[in-house]
Copies of this chain bind each other. A is one copy, B any other.
Amino acid sequence: MIRSEARGLLLSRNVLIEADAELSYLFNRARFGRSRITSQEEKQWFQLDMEEAFYLCFSLECLKVIGKDGSIKSNKEPWEYSKSEKPAFPISYKAYSHLQRKNWVVRSGLQYGVDFIAYRHLPALIHSEYAVLALSKGDNELNGRLRVWSDVHCTVHLCGSVAKTLLVLFVDSNSQGTSYPSCLEHYTVEEETITRWNPEQSREDQTSLRNQTK
């Protein structure tokens, strides 16, 4: 992918990449972006979320972000732009890259109302396993999820109905601010899963526990 010298155009909250057959194959294999259908048959366009694009930029260094005039931008510029578009971007990017580094396939969770969906393998082969919410530790005002019980119930119920486990990543900024790249090194991530506790299913265990203590 580095050899392909891909260029991505920053548009609102997405990055658009014009891809030839080889690059399309690589994007599809690596599970980055969604292909966009256009009238040009020979060219494919890939639409990347900001987190995906900047992971390719910052971590894998195989994508350059360009402006509308075609000039290549430094990493700092798209970082600042993303923060202005999405104030929680440093938190969600840290969560995204944390999962990517652990070799999970990470996709947008927009349709389920979570930040990401994390798969162990290719989604086509194995059903996705985690619905991920990235929360800023200490300052929940920023993205405001799971502040009330009804939201927790709602999210856990939804995860159950689509056969996923809710994984909450608490990103602690350790008061390091949001300037690139220093902040990312100092951010720490705590993982927590939230599942339903079913008293009917747990009753049997309790009996066996009681038998043991007798």
The yes or no answer to A26 lying at the interface (CB within 8 A) is: no
Copies in the complex: 2
The yes or no answer to A151 lying at the interface (CB within 8 A) is: yes
Among A112, A154, A157, the most chain B Cβ lie within 10 Å of the Cβ of A154
The yes or no answer to A115 lying at the interface (CB within 8 A) is: yes
The yes or no answer to A1 lying at the interface (CB within 8 A) is: no
The yes or no answer to A212 lying at the interface (CB within 8 A) is: no
Q: In whole angstroms, how far apart are the Cα atoms of A150 and B150 in the complex?
A: 14
Chain B nearest CB: distance from A143 CB in Å?
6
The yes or no answer to A186 lying at the interface (CB within 8 A) is: no
Chain B nearest CB: distance from A168 CB in Å?
13
Q: Which residues of B contact A150 (CB under 8 A)?
A: 109-110, 113-115, 133, 143, 145
The yes or no answer to A214 lying at the interface (CB within 8 A) is: no
Q: Which residues of B contact A156 (CB under 8 A)?
A: 113
CB of A144 within 8 A of CB of B154, answer no
**Interface residues in A, total, Cβ within 8 A:** 25
CB of A155 within 8 A of CB of B153, answer no
Digit string of A150-181 for contact with B (CB within 8 Å is 1, else 0)? 11111111100110000000000000000000
Q: Which residues of B contact A157 (CB under 8 A)?
A: 111-113, 158
The yes or no answer to A203 lying at the interface (CB within 8 A) is: no
The yes or no answer to A37 lying at the interface (CB within 8 A) is: no
Q: In whole angstroms, how far apart are the Cα atoms of A161 and B160 in the complex?
A: 11
Q: Which residues of B contact A148 (CB under 8 A)?
A: 143-145
Q: For chain A residues 78-96, which have a beta carbon within 8 Å of chain B?
A: none
The chain B residue with its CB closest to the CB of A131 is: B154
10 A/B residue pairs, CB under 8 Å, sorted by A = A111-B153, A112-B154, A113-B150, A113-B151, A113-B154, A144-B147, A144-B151, A151-B154, A157-B158, A158-B161
Q: Which residues of B contact A162 (CB under 8 A)?
A: 161
CB of A151 within 8 A of CB of B151, answer yes
Q: In whole angstroms, how far apart are the Cα atoms of A144 and B147 in the complex?
A: 7
Q: Which residues of B contact A113 (CB under 8 A)?
A: 149-157
Chain B nearest CB: distance from A23 CB in Å?
27
